[in-house]
Amino acid sequence: MTLHDVPSEPSSARLPPGELRWAEGWARRLIEHAACKAPPALSARLAEEWLADLPARRGAIARLRFALGCCWASKVIAHELGAVLGATATSTAIRTGALYTSTGPSFDSRRSAVSFLIVSLHVLVIYGLAAGMARTVLESTPDRLQVSLPKAPARERTAPPVNPQLAPVDVQVAEQHWALEVPLEPVAVAEEGARTREFAAASLPPPVKRVLGGPGAGFPNTADYYPDASRRLGEKGSTLVQVCVDGSGRLTSNPTLAQSSGSARLDTSALRLARAGSGHYRATTEDGKPVSACYPLRVRFELKE
Amino acid sequence: MGDRGGNVRLSFQTLKVLEAFLEKPTGELSGADVHKRTEIASGTLYPILLRLECAGWFVSRWEDIDPASAGRPRRRLYRLTRDGLARTSEVFASFGRGVPA
């Protein structure tokens, strides 16, 4: 009997109802495939035997496990019997015990050895990690890594090829001279009637000619305001009074003492003189026009011999 | 491992298979019947049955039924040989367990 002569069960007895039918189909295909991998003298027998035992397993998972187990069983049987059984072997050989004449190590022993080797490797790795082997490896890593890179071959720099179709063109650029002329004229600024500051400023507006004012026509005589006591005592001095005068020569505010002469009498008389001169001041002019301005007025009290 | 002299490596699963047959030494069991008694997976069970058969401990035959009338395929039935029964008795006797007559 060959594998294809295996009688099949009626569908009512072989296939369970419902969702287990797909598992039955897969299991049967796996079993037939596994039997084909067995020694030829046994493949038909094993296929019929396993297919007959398959319905005894209940449930889809159990049948699939059974079929997968048959795949493993066929490998074991082929390994143990393959060296003995040939294409001409018969079932008689099985009954006479001729199938187990192999003198090599058994498959189970080899499998046990492989399992022992795998377990030993795991134990060794775990022990190595626990004993700090990994830490030692990390500590032995050098702090600096020196990498030597091969030098790139020096490339010769050559001029790009000249396009023969382009004729050289002479470009002439006319030389131009740019001159920036900025008028730098000294500007005279009269301040306090004595100080003059000169500076050049190109961005400033045109200078203004300013002429400070002073005592004008009809201004009282200083001798008239010389205190009598000071004449008797021989006091003399110079008092500086700050006056503010409008364009008509009148005081716009009371004069103030800017610098004392050292004598209160002389200072008081100087302030009286400054107030009395209102309307007789010469106004300050800018470009000839009278303007209001404040300026110091020197009052000198001197005794003539 | 079995050989012509009947020597078989007696693993734990092999002893369980032999123990299943000792329940009725003259009876016949299929692979499915042995699985029900021992719960040994098929990947281990069938090589053991074939190994014991090759060693002369078992003999096997096809179930004598008509698959068409029975509605199921015929099974492969295993039975202890006289020599297999004697050897099995010796093995279990060494473990202190008797064999039913």
Shortest CB distance from A94 goes to which of B54, B68, B71?
A: B54
CATH class, domain A214-301, is alpha beta
Residue in chain A nearest B2 by alpha carbon = A100
Q: B44 and A69: CB-CB below 8 Å?
A: yes
Q: Do B41 and A52 touch (CB under 8 A)?
A: no
> Which of A210 and A133 is assigned the larger pLDDT?
A210
Residue A213: name the closest of A187, A238, A240, A192 by CA: A192
pLDDT value at residue A18: 61
Chain B residues touching A71 at Cβ < 8 A: 43
Torsion over CA: A215, A219, A222, A225 (sign)? negative
Give the separation between CA B47 and CA B53, rounded to whole angstroms: 10
Question: b/e for A140-161, b at 16 or more Cβ within 10 A?
Answer: eeeeeeeeeeeeeeeeeeeeee
pLDDT tens-digit readout, A186-207: 444 445 444 545 554 455 667 7
For B17-30, what is each residue's pLDDT tens digit? 999 998 888 899 99
Binned at pLDDT 50, 70 and 90, residue B3 comes out as low
B17 contacts in chain A (CB < 8 Å): none
Please tell me which residue, B19 or B2, carries the higher pLDDT value. Answer: B19
A108 min Cα distance to partner chain B (Å): 9
How many helices and strands (H and E) does chain A possess?
9, 10
Q: What is the pLDDT of residues A112-140, one digit of tens each?
A: 888 899 999 999 888 888 876 655 555 55
- The continuous run of DSSP H or E covering B52 comes out as helix B42-54
A189, A210 contact by CB (below 8 A): yes
Cβ separation B73–A6 shorter than 8 A: yes
What integer is the mean pLDDT of A256-265? 91
Q: What does the pLDDT read at residue B9?
A: 81
Which range has the worst mean pLDDT, A85-94, A276-285, B2-11?
Answer: A85-94
Q: How confident is the model at residue A96 (pLDDT cuts 50, 70, 90)?
A: very low
pLDDT at B43 over 90: yes
Q: By C-alpha distance, which of A111, A33, A14 is closest to B44?
A: A111
Q: Does A276 touch chain B (CB under 8 A)?
A: no
Name the CATH code of domain B12-94 (choices 1.10.10.1110, 1.10.20.140, 1.10.10.10, 3.20.20.140).
1.10.10.10
The pTM of the full predicted model, rounded to 2 decimals, is 0.44
Residue-range domain boundaries for chain B:
12-94
State chain A's maximal CA–CA distance in angstroms. Answer: 175
Cβ distance A108 to B11 less than 8 Å, yes or no, reads yes
The pLDDT mean for chain A works out to 74
A-to-B residue pairs, Cβ atoms closer than 8 angstroms = 112
Closest CA–CA distance from residue B98 to any residue of chain A (Å): 28
CA distance A77 to chain B (A): 6
Put residue B56 in one of left, alpha, beta given phi > 0 → left and psi -120 to 50 → alpha. Answer: left
pLDDT band with cut points at 50, 70 and 90 for residue A254: very high
B99 to chain A nearest CA, in Å? 25
Closest Cα in chain B to A76: B47
A218 Rama sector, left if φ>0, alpha if ψ -120 to 50, beta otherwise = left
Q: How confident is the model at residue B31 (pLDDT cuts 50, 70, 90)?
A: very high
